[in-house]
Amino acid sequence: MAESKFIETQAIHSGRINDEQFGSLATPLYQTSTFIFDSAEQGAQRFAGEAEGFIYTRLGNPTTRQLEMRVAAMEGMEDGAATATGMAAVSGALLANLAAGDHVISSKAIYGCSFALISHMLTKFGIEVSFVDMSEPENITKAIKENTKVVFLESPINPNLEVLDLEKILAITQQHQLISIVDNTFMTPVLQQPAKMGADIIIHSATKYLNGHGDVVAGIICGSKEMIEHIKLTALKDIGGTMSPHDAWLILRGLKTLHLRVERHCQNAQLVAEFLESHPKVAKVYYPGLKSHSGYQYIGKQMKAAGGVIAFELHTDLQGGADFINRMKLFSIAVSLGDAESLIQHPASMTHSPYSDEERRAAGISDSLIRISAGLENVSDLIADLKQSLDAIEDSAQQVA
């Protein structure tokens, strides 16, 4: 197809591999572990890189290849690598670019398992780590050492939705020739494209919005052809965290409606956030779509909209927060995001439990913080569900008094 600059078109057409034999409109699912060679000589040539063609699905597959090229096009990158999970994308991007003696700088607040990997696993292999508050980009400059190699961050940050100034941060990484890795899961390429600001590597938990239907765990890494080839031939090939073709097929199907789903997620989240901010039992709401949020200044500039995830704190204790979650009737208690269903969870005891109490406080993740992912239901039903549980907090408080 002719290349398009519009992401709605890219999500449906980019990277298409034509089915020349049968003319299938839908992407064929190549559910195979290995591929047949015409001859021993051809097999040898493919292994030597002297001939094109697939060898073994861990090394590449037509279905996963189409997904890689499609997401890369949507992110404005040259190439992509499909991984088994979002954490395989995180670990693959980091391990392919770090060695003993190197130094990595990370945002102090990131997804819990990314934090555990960087703080606990990388340090076991002689890699130095510094966690800094990237809301002040100059803190990155202050943390740079002679052996600094990689800068890792998310924006908005999971779970407190702090928005980082990507333009300033990526200008620093480029100036010091550091490899920048940006987790763009919360925004998706529909709302934010870090490559336009100079990111070297963009990663996604494709489990979330890219798939959007709660039936896949997967990840994506996007970057230059050279970088992706390096990641594929090292961390992914030898550690083996690659995606199955069936999962790739499901994500390709999900991508076709991504821009429509993201629009509805954002609409619902905005109205839910406004409701929560107006409720007397809610102490604070963290959502960049609210004028009260520090990230509001980046809407329309760095990011097109605020996304579908909201965090908030209640005027209650830890048990009161748990009771609030347990009373929800429409929201499902689950730790993912980006699904059609609205989800609710408690970061301190769930997604960010790898942090110690001290580490959580330093990252701005309180014990009372609650995170919700606004789904695709009618927003009136979502607000009604939140209201009935909030009203019960008021009733409980009056009974105690």
Q: What is the pLDDT of residues 53-78, one digit of tens each?
A: 999 999 999 999 999 999 999 999 99
Residues composing the chain: 401
Q: What structural domains and CATH numbers belong to the chain? A: 7-30+61-255 (3.40.640.10), 258-400 (3.90.1150.10)
What pLDDT, on a 0 to 100 scale, did the predictor assign at position 116?
Answer: 93
C-alpha 68: how far from chain center: 15
What pLDDT, on a 0 to 100 scale, did the predictor assign at position 369?
Answer: 86
Distance CA(276)–CA(182), nearest Å, equals 29
Sign of CA dihedral 187, 190, 192, 194: positive
What pLDDT, on a 0 to 100 scale, did the predictor assign at position 350?
Answer: 76
What pLDDT, on a 0 to 100 scale, did the predictor assign at position 396?
Answer: 46
Which positions ≥6 away from 202 have C-beta within 8 Å? 75, 77, 181, 182, 183, 184, 194, 195, 221, 222, 223
Antiparallel, parallel or unpaired: β 219-223 and 282-286:
unpaired
What pLDDT, on a 0 to 100 scale, did the predictor assign at position 62?
Answer: 96
Q: What is the pLDDT of residues 276-310, one digit of tens each?
A: 999 999 999 999 999 999 999 999 999 999 999 99
CB 224 within 8 A of CB 78: yes
Q: Which residues of the chain have pLDDT under 50?
A: 396-401
Distance CA(258)–CA(66), nearest Å, equals 16
- Buried b / exposed e over 347-377, threshold 16 CB at 10 Å, is bbeebbebbeeebbeebbbbebbbbbbbbbb
Work out the angle at residue 203's Cα, subtended by the Cα atoms of residues 200 and 207, and round it to the nearest 5 degrees: 170
234's torsion region: left (phi>0), alpha (psi -120 to 50) or beta? alpha
Any idea which residues carry the catalytic annotation? 58, 111, 183, 208
CB 74 within 8 A of CB 224: no
State if pTM tops 0.75.
yes
Which positions ≥6 away from 209 have C-beta within 8 Å? 185, 188, 258, 261, 262, 265, 308, 337, 338
- Buried b / exposed e over 269-296, threshold 16 CB at 10 Å, is bbbbbebbbebebbebbbbbbbeebebe
